[in-house]
């Protein structure tokens, strides 16, 4: 239907459809691609990325959209320093998995009871909901105020518009609870700062700590089940087709690495998974490569 699609993810919005539609999607480190012109939810978690038929297609698009953008300077300035000369296509390697260490997320494969993981993925307990609600109002108001034309200029005006047009906006079916909760916030105060710090602590003492202690190049999880874990600190991830269940529904595999760290860099580590070859179209093999968190797809098969 389409050779290339683009979208944004805050928490699973792209990893999930990629996994459930037998296509490939990359969620770059926050800041690797510009969010200018995109309706925002959270500056900490929003990232733009491609969903395509194959890994090779995704990389072609990624090469085209990464880089510094003065309209999203705060996010793209630091990350742009780590874009490799010559782009990402050079890291497409068939034997990229050789010698690499990939961790499996407990609690998603019935390895343990998953209590720690469930704390992180519960948006209310983790603090993600409190942070996102305040960030959404601030970001959306700034976005709307900057448009050359718009019938509404704030979240409050959107809520009022919906109330004035309940049938067209299907308020009876869907309501606008998220909008109302967000509008009730008053900026990034003590509650929100505490929530954001807790999210940072979850990442530092969770994914990043585990990857460092076990010298992992990537972490794997089924479908988009760990999307929230990867999202709360802007970690990069990739979803690739894995197979089909007994009812014929597709499912995928998600893998993530550490985010780009300022002053970091290092030699790219190409991670290729030949296990997925038979489930991906003829011109690509599944890959994640990590250079302090960057992800690279694999070399097209020959």
pLDDT at 107: 57
Q: Using only C-alpha atoms, what is the Rg of the chain?
A: 20
pLDDT at 36: 93
Q: Between 243 and 283, whose confidence is greater?
A: 243
> How many residues in the chain?
302
Q: Between 253 and 168, whose confidence is greater?
A: 168
pLDDT at 194: 95
Rounded Cα–Cα distance for residues 213 and 216 (Å) = 8
pLDDT at 81: 87
pLDDT, one tens digit per residue, over 209-242 is 888 888 888 888 887 888 888 888 777 888 888 8
pLDDT at 105: 73
Are 48 and 65 in contact, with CB atoms under 8 Å apart?
yes
Rounded Cα–Cα distance for residues 248 and 271 (Å) = 28
Rounded Cα–Cα distance for residues 162 and 157 (Å) = 9
Q: In the CATH hierarchy, which fold is given to the domain comprising 4-244+272-289?
A: Amidase signature (AS) enzymes (3.90.1300)
Least trusted range by pLDDT, from 44-48, 271-275, 279-283: 279-283
Question: What does the buried/exposed string (b/e) look like for 208-221 if buried means 16 or more CB atoms within 10 Å of the residue's CB?
Answer: beebeeeebbbbbb
Least trusted range by pLDDT, from 19-23, 92-96, 185-189, 238-242: 92-96
The residues spanned by each domain of the chain are: 4-244+272-289
């Amino acid at each position: 239907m389409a050779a290339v699609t683009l979208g944004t993810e805050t928490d699973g919005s792209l990893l999930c459809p990629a996994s459930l539609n037998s296509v490939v999607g990359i969620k770059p480190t926050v800041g690797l691609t510009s969010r200018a012109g995109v309706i925002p939810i959270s500056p900490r978690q929003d990232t733009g990325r491609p969903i395509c038929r194959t890994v090779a297609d995704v990389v072609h698009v990624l090469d085209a959209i990464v880089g510094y953008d003065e309209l999203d300077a705060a996010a793209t300035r630091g990350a742009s320093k780590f874009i490799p000369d010559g782009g990402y296509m050079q890291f497409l390697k068939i034997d990229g998995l050789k010698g690499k260490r990939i961790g499996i997320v407990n609690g998603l494969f019935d390895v343990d009871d998953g209590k720690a993981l469930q704390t992180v993925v519960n948006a209310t307990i983790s603090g993600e909901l409190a942070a996102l609600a305040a960030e959404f109002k601030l970001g959306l108001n700034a976005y709307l105020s900057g448009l050359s034309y718009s019938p509404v200029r704030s979240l409050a005006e959107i809520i009022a518009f919906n109330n004035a047009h309940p049938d067209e906006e299907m308020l009876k079916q869907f309501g606008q609870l998220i909008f109302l909760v967000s509008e009730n916030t008053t900026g990034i105060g003590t509650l929100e700062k505490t929530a954001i710090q807790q999210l940072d602590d979850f990442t530092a003492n969770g994914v990043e700590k585990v990857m460092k202690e076990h010298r992992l190049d990537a972490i794997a999880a089924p479908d988009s089940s760990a999307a929230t874990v990867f999202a709360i600190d802007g970690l990069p991830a990739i979803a690739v087709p894995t197979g089909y269940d007994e009812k014929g529904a597709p499912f995928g595999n998600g893998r993530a690495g550490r985010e780009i760290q300022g002053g970091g860099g290092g030699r790219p580590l190409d991670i290729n998974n030949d296990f997925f070859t038979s489930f991906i179209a003829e011109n690509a093999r599944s890959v994640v490569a990590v250079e302090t968190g960057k992800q690279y797809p694999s070399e097209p098969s020959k």
